[in-house]
Structures are given as C-alpha cells and as structure tokens.
Amino acid sequence: MQEMMRQAAPVLERLNGAGFEAYYVGGCVRDAALGRPVADVDIATSAQPEQVLALFAKTLPTGLQHGTVTVQEGGHSYEVTTFRMETAYERHRRPAEVTFIADLTGDLLRRDFTINAMAMDRFGRVVDPFGGTADLDAGVIRCVGDPELRLQEDALRLLRGIRFASVLGYRIAKSTWRAIVRHRRLLRHIAMERVGVELDKMLAGPYPNRALALLERSALWRETKIPLLGVGFDAPSCDQVPDWSGVADTNNRWAGVLLAARIAPEAANAWLSAFAFGRCRVRRITNRMKLHHAAIESDATGDAAGSRASWTELVLRYGQDDAQAWLALIGQAPGLAASLPDEAGAARLAEWMRAMPAATLKELAVNGRDLTALAGAGARQGPWVKTLLNELLAACARGDIPNDKQALLTAAETYLRNAKELS
Ligand code: ATP
Ligand code: MG
C-alpha cells in the first residue's frame, strides 16, 4: 500500500471501530495497483454522512446531499462518501438523485470503468467485483456494465475513457469504443471547463499522441465544441500523429498542438479561456505561438544582418521565459523546427539570447527609483518611468549600451533632455 493511503488508515480504522464498513476506492486503488503516485485518497463507507460528521473532530460538509464529507486527519484531507447509487441522470451529466445504500458492490457499480471500480480495505485486501485487476493487467479500459447506458448517463465518461487509455497507454475494449463513437455527440452537453481538464490531463500524460489519435479516430472533436484538435492533421493511427511526448512542458505541448493544427493565437486564446485555463497560463501558451509566427515572419531566424536585432526585439516583446520555452519547443517538437529558414537557426538564437546583457527589467542595472531620482525633486512618478526603463532595456539588450549603472544613467539623462526639448 502506498504511503498516502497508509496515512489515511486511521480514518478507516475509526469507521470500522464504530461498526461501519470503510474502504479506499477509485483512483487511489487503481494507481496503487499500478505503482503510480496516488493523487488523492477517496474513502467509501456504509456510515451515513451525519454519522461521519459525528465521528471525526475536523470535518467539512463538502457535499452532504451527495453523501460526501471531507475529513481532516493527520494534516491531510479525505473525501469520505457514503455508499450510494446514482439514478435519473439529467442532461447526460449529473445524476438528479443519489440514494444511499448499504453495500459496497452497489457503490462500485456506479463507477465508470472497471479499473476505477475497485476498493481496498485497510489491511490491503482488494474488492474487485468487475474484473478491474484483470483489465489493469491486460491494459484495457472497459465500462462497468453496458457501455451504451453508462456513456449516455454521463457523457464526461467519453473523454475520461480516452484520457485513461492515453495516460496509461491502454486500449479501449471494443464495446466501450463502439459506444464512444456512437455517442460522441453527447459531449456537447459537457461544460467546456470539464473538457479542458480532461484534454489537459491527456496532453500532460506520457502518450499525448495516443490521445490525439483516439480523439481523431472517434471523431469526438468533430461533434463537439473542440474542433481545435482535429484541424491540421488527419491521422487514423497514433503513429501518424506528431509525437509530442518528447516536449517536456505541458504548456509547450499545447502551443505545439495548436500550432500544428494551424489555430491562430487569437482563436487559441478563446479556446483556452473557454477551458477556464488561468489567464497567466493562456498568455504563456499563446505567447509562444505568437513568437513562433513572428520569428518565422521576421528575419530573426535567418542570418541576415539585422537578424540579431529582430530576435532581440522579439525576446523583449514576449519575454525571456517564453522565448526560452519556445526555443525548447522547436528543439523538441517534431516538425516545428523545419519551419525555420535554416537548421542552425535555433542554436544561433539561443546563443544570442545568452549573450544579451539584460533581457528583463529585473536584470537591468538601473530601476525606477534611480530614474525618478535622476529627474530631480520636482519630477512626477508616471508612465514615463516605465517607458524609459523599457527604452534602456532595449538598447542594452541590443548591445548599444552596456548593462552598467553609470552608462545607463548617462543615456537616461540624454533621453530626458531630449524629451524636455521636444515638449
Ligand atoms: P484522477 O484523480 O487521476 O483524475 P480518478 O479516477 O481518481 O482519476 P476522480 O475524478 O478523482 O478520478 O474520481 C474518483 C473516482 O470516482 C473514480 O476513480 C471513479 O471511480 C469515480 N468517478 C469519477 N468520475 C466519474 C464519472 N464521471 N462517472 C463514474 N464514476 C466516476
Ligand atoms: Mg482521483
């Protein structure tokens, strides 16, 4: 048993001590069996929510009507959920009713895939009524029960199926696959935010190309609000999809997939925002895309006389971090470097960036306070400070002024004098 699960043992023990059944369930049992790191430990019990609340000192009534109480124990939080059945799913997503039940098997029956429908008691004994262990061994994603019904009940399972198949490198059982293809249109009932979470997990996994191939082959993307993954390549098998697994960072995988799909940065921005990715993350991804387009359109990646200046300007515009990340992307992603005019281009850009005396305001040898002091007692704070700092940074990055306080202040003085004469 994994450490994370062992730490939760006192919670199960206390429930057992009070005469209730209690088990580890779902993802943690699956991941423990696979020897993968366990993300969160979920517990299922025969105790009613009020009984769980009464048994533990620190609790949060997370989702009482669904039977879930968060129990805090030993510095960790666990979701403790009463055995339940779900009925009357509404709009192919949420069950309208949950009924608390007395036995574990009924609770496992409501779960999506056999590998997610296993439980384990605190002594490590596994309860596996639907053959989850055999499917883990064989590497198969299979619905619990009739896939036709299970996928119609909750269309998020369409994506979860593809997600588990791609992250674990598994195949999808025939009947489950047929049901995914048949009911692909139901995905439009699923909130974009949930879609985004699943796609993100697919792309972050060790076999992102498998996810893209499955999305493509099932035509899931075509029937839904996510056309982005299908544009730009038509790949019936996963070896024909560009392999993104060599790209280290998930944001770069997104940037690469979106670029390969020929999605414009503005459209990418709209998609990623609809997926409810944070603003900062959306900017990181789209910056790298914009940088890619700008670098190819400008002479920055060539060996023309002005190339270095063009590259410097791009680094300043998009920031050193994203410029660095973009260089990593074109180095790691199949096909993207081919869009550069010459192969040595990337190495040259990296070298130029390393040689920049300063590429961010933080690295610049003067700061805003130095400039206000220079302007004298009567000078007002204002946007001019930022403008001037950026001018100095640009000149410094180009190599026109050394990154030296005195040299920068002298240049600033000239700038301020000129500005005064002009006004
Ligand atoms: P991960 O945490 O790695 O994303 P997980 O399988 O643990 O994967 P959770 O969303 O944490 O996924 O859900 C915990 C368990 O609840 C699952 O293992 C599964 O048994 C059940 N479950 C989650 N979502 C669904 C669903 N849409 N339909 C049926 N069962 C589900
Ligand atoms: Mg989980």
State yes or no: pLDDT of 233 exceeds 50. Answer: no
So where are the chain's domains?
1-138, 278-356, 362-422
- Chain segment 266-307, per-residue pLDDT in tens: 999 998 999 999 999 999 999 999 999 998 888 888 777 788
Interface confidence (ipTM) of the complex: 0.98
Task: Let me know: does 331 contact 348? Beta carbons within 8 Å.
Answer: no
Element at 106 (helix H, strand E): helix 104-109
- Chain segment 92-101, per-residue pLDDT in tens: 888 888 899 9
Helix (H, G, I), strand (E, B) or coil at 19: coil
pLDDT for res 343:
67
pLDDT for res 95:
83
205 lines ligand 1 (CB under 6 A): no
Please give the model's pTM, rounded to 2 decimal places.
0.89
CATH assignment, 362-422: 1.10.246.80
What are the respective helix, strand and coil percentages of the chain, to the nearest 5?
55, 10, 30
Ligand 2 center–CA 26 separation, angstroms = 7
- Chain segment 323-369, per-residue pLDDT in tens: 999 999 988 887 777 777 666 788 888 998 998 989 889 999 999 99
Q: Which atom of ligand 1 is nearest to the CA of 153?
A: 28
pLDDT level of residue 226 (50, 70, 90 thresholds): low
| Closest ligand by atom to 36 CA | 1
Torsion angle of C-alpha atoms 370, 372, 378, 382, degrees rounded to 10: -170
* Residue of 160, 170, 180 to mutate, ligand 1, most atoms within 8 A of C-beta: 160
Element at 227 (helix H, strand E): none
Ligand 1 center–CA 183 separation, angstroms = 20
Look at ligand 1, atom 10, and give the residue with the nearest C-alpha: 27
Look at ligand 1, atom 15, and give the residue with the nearest C-alpha: 26
Fold entry, domain 1-138: Beta Polymerase; domain 2 (3.30.460)
Task: Let me know: does 7 contact 34? Beta carbons within 8 Å.
Answer: no
User: Taking the alpha carbons of 105, 108, 110, 186 in that order, is the dihedral positive or negative?
Assistant: negative
Residues for the chain: how many in total?
A: 423
Ligand 2 center–CA 243 separation, angstroms = 27
Ligand 2 center–CA 191 separation, angstroms = 19
